[in-house]
Chain A
Amino acid sequence: MTQVPVTEGVFSWPSQTPQLIGSRCVECGNHMFPVQSGCPKCSSDSTEEVLLGRRGTLWTWTVQGYPPKSPPYAGNVDPKTFQAFGVGYIELPGQIKIEARLTESDPAKLKIGMEMEMVLVPLNTDEAGNEVVTFAFAPVA
């Protein structure tokens, strides 16, 4: 099945090792995600696009235990078949903390501080039969 990204410009695509696309402030070095033109740290309007790191540590997490409202959610919301999914913030060293889905949803297997790596996960199938993917972080085995 052909894969398509949930949106353009949020992660590098196509790529064997996709990376999130962020901004870096030319004035103060602050990192931002997603891309934005103004810096919330120093108020500069001079930012440049950067690819963010693919590995970091889990800063905090939760588990989405019920189907989100759709719209806006594009994944499965059927209460009979809905699968809980993890959500967390991953601290990318020297850059920023990123909010993302997690591939793990078992509270017993999620620990603050654990090593995580970026992956892509399927959300749904679009009208053209393509598999829509978004980014997530997975525990490093």
Chain B
Amino acid sequence: MSIEVAIVGIGMHEFGRTEGVSGMDQGVVAVRRACADAGLKWDDMQFAFGGSQAAGAADTMVSQLGLTGLQFINVANGCATGGSALFSAYNTIRSGVFDVGIAIGFDKHERGAFRINTKGAGLGDWYGASGLALTTQFFGMKINRYMHEYGITQSSLAKVSEKAFRNGAQNPMAWRRKPISEQEVLDSAMLSYPLTQYMFCSPGEGGVALVLARADKAHLYTDKPIYLKAAAVRSRRFGSFEVLAPSIALEHNAGPTVDASKAAFEMAGIGPEDIDVAQLQDTESGAEIMHMAENGFCEHGEQEFMIQAGETEIGGKFPVNTDGGCLANGEPVGASGLRQVYENVLQLRGQAGARQVPNDPKVAYTHVYGAPGISGVTILSR
């Protein structure tokens, strides 16, 4: 009988811009809130996995939380940092080594587009000097090709943003809390054709922590355990089209999202038709559209009808990014993947307030994607 894993506590520091509070301190707040949610103390944590991209080494936060001697492992895996911390915590409990522990992600980035460390990314100085080291260019080029192949319209790109800001307005933890109309999205500055300013998320700040426990002990901490049925992380294969690539192969591969998604569904023993609510990486609105198909929720091109018909709205057939996604929350890289899981726990507990998905959702899905071509997927159930 294999050990199952449950999420028994969740904590978050508000996303956005919090002047005067370091990214690390936002992580500490998230940890304290997660422990309180589980009715546990920091010294109950037997292990921790944590990471940030730009806000310091996670394990140093024990100096504020308490020097309890626990096993604390720092995780650094780009945009999949939070997802990788969760994956590691999940497997630590499944292996039987520990019964209860915590996954932590936090970050704080400078304003504006990400400044790419070309050396750290294995790229020559010429690449950045020539004006090619921008993640925004990749997003523009991927959706431009996709629109050409599958007939997605500019209107659908704008509707994804409109939905994100409408959902964000219902989320007290979100950064962007003002609804923005489809027309305002279309009329905002063209940053990287065909994507306008309000179609992009911004690097931001925030922290999330999740307390995990053996499922057979979850009742000790909560009367609403949420089970982690699958957690999978995959890197790119030959032929996939990824961010920050000076070249790509002529032959085509569907990419790491397709691989991570298939692996997660296999682990959980269910299929896309069983998912009631999904949080999909929406670095920009085109990404949400493409990731709907890459994660197996529709055929390529079907998104056009689904979005125009409102199927991905909170009250629709397949709600996507109910907390406003990256578009409304911003992207503190280390925390972003865990934010998605936090939202799904609220939705499955029935605690999502004004943005609660109706009809009692039972199974929820998260997907994170980032440089240099990595995807992480989780599946949660009640």
Nearest CB in chain B to that of A74: its residue = B129
Contact of B112 among A33, A69, A72 (CB under 8 A): A69
B 194-222 to A, binary, CB cutoff 8 A, 1 in contact else 0: 11000000000000000000000000000
Q: Which residues of B contact A123 (CB under 8 A)?
A: 129-131
A98 touches B246 (CB 8 A): yes
Q: Is A10 a contact of B125 with CB atoms below 8 Å?
A: no
A87 near B238 with CB under 8 A, answer no
Instruction: Count chain A residues whose beta carbon lies closer than 8 angstroms to a beta carbon of B.
Output: 43
Whether the pair A64, B192 counts as a contact (CB closer than 8 A) is yes
Q: Nearest CB to that of B115 among chain A residues?
A: A69
For chain A residues 20-74, which have a beta carbon within 8 Å of chain B? 22, 30, 32-34, 40-41, 59-66, 68-69, 71-74
Q: How far is the CA of A7 from the CA of B129 in the complex (A)?
A: 10
Q: How far is the CA of A97 from the CA of B127 in the complex (A)?
A: 15
Tell yes or no: A89 within 8 A of B by CB. Answer: yes
* Proximity string of chain B (246-263) to chain A, C-beta cutoff 8 Å, 1 when within and 0 when not: 111110000000000000
Interface contact B190-A65, CB-CB below 8 Å: yes
In chain B, positions 107-140 with a C-beta closer than 8 Å to chain A are: 112-113, 115-116, 118, 124-134, 137, 140
Counting chain B CB atoms within 10 Å of each CB, the highest count among A22, A65, A68 belongs to: A68
Contact A62 B137 (CB under 8 A): yes
A85 to B134, CA, bound (A): 13
Q: What B residues does A32 contact at CB under 8 A? A: 247
B302 shortest CB reach to chain A, Å: 21
Q: Is the CB of B191 within 8 A of A66?
A: yes
Asked if B193 is at the interface of the complex by the 8 Å CB criterion, the answer is yes
Q: Are B131 and A73 in contact (CB under 8 A)?
A: yes
| Closest partner residue, chain A, to B130 (CB atom) | A134
Q: Which residues of B contact A74 (CB under 8 A)?
A: 128-131
A112 at interface, CB cutoff 8 A: yes
Task: Return chain B residues, CB-CB under 8 Å to A33.
Answer: 246-247
Shortest Cβ gap from A1 to chain B (Å): 18
Chain A residues within an 8 Å CB radius of B144: 60-62, 112
Which of B134, B141, B195, B246 has most A Cβ within 10 Å? B246
Q: Beyond A65-B191, A68-B131, is A97–B142 a contact (Cβ under 8 Å)? A: no
Residue B346 lies at the interface, judged by CB distance under 8 Å to chain A: no
Pick the residue among B125, B137, B247 that contacts A72 (CB under 8 A): B125
Residues of B within 8 A of A62 (CB): 137, 140-141, 144, 192-195
Inter-subunit contact A63/B130 (CB<8 Å): no
In the complex, the answer to whether A7 meets B124 with C-beta atoms within 8 Å is yes
CA distance A95 to B247 in the complex (A): 10
B113 lies within 8 A of A101 (CB): no
> Is B189 interfacial (CB 8 A cutoff)?
yes
User: Shortest CB–CB separation between residue B22 and chain A, in angstroms?
Assistant: 22
- Answer whether residue B275 sits at the interface, using C-beta atoms and an 8 A cutoff: no
Question: Which of A10, A69, A72, A97 meets B250, CB within 8 Å?
Answer: A97
State the CA gap A62–B137 with chains docked (Å).
6
B140 and chain A: residue at smallest CB distance: A62
CB within 8 A of A87: which of B124, B131, B189, B195?
B131
Which chain B residues lie closer than 8 Å to A22 at the CB level?
A: 247
Interface residues in chain A, defined as those with a beta carbon under 8 Å from any beta carbon in chain B: 6-7, 10, 22, 30, 32-34, 40-41, 59-66, 68-69, 71-75, 85, 87-89, 91, 94-101, 107, 112, 123, 134-135
User: Which are the 4 A-B pairs with shortest beta-carbon distances?
Assistant: A72-B128, A62-B140, A60-B145, A7-B126
14 further A-B contacts with Cβ under 8 Å, apart from A65-B193, A66-B189, A69-B115, are A6-B129, A7-B124, A34-B124, A59-B145, A62-B137, A64-B192, A65-B189, A65-B192, A69-B112, A71-B115, A72-B118, A96-B250, A101-B131, A107-B193
**25 residue pairs from A and B, CB less than 8 Å apart:** A6-B129, A7-B124, A7-B129, A30-B249, A33-B247, A34-B246, A34-B247, A41-B238, A41-B249, A59-B145, A61-B144, A62-B141, A65-B193, A68-B131, A69-B113, A72-B128, A75-B129, A75-B131, A85-B131, A87-B132, A87-B141, A96-B248, A98-B247, A112-B144, A123-B130
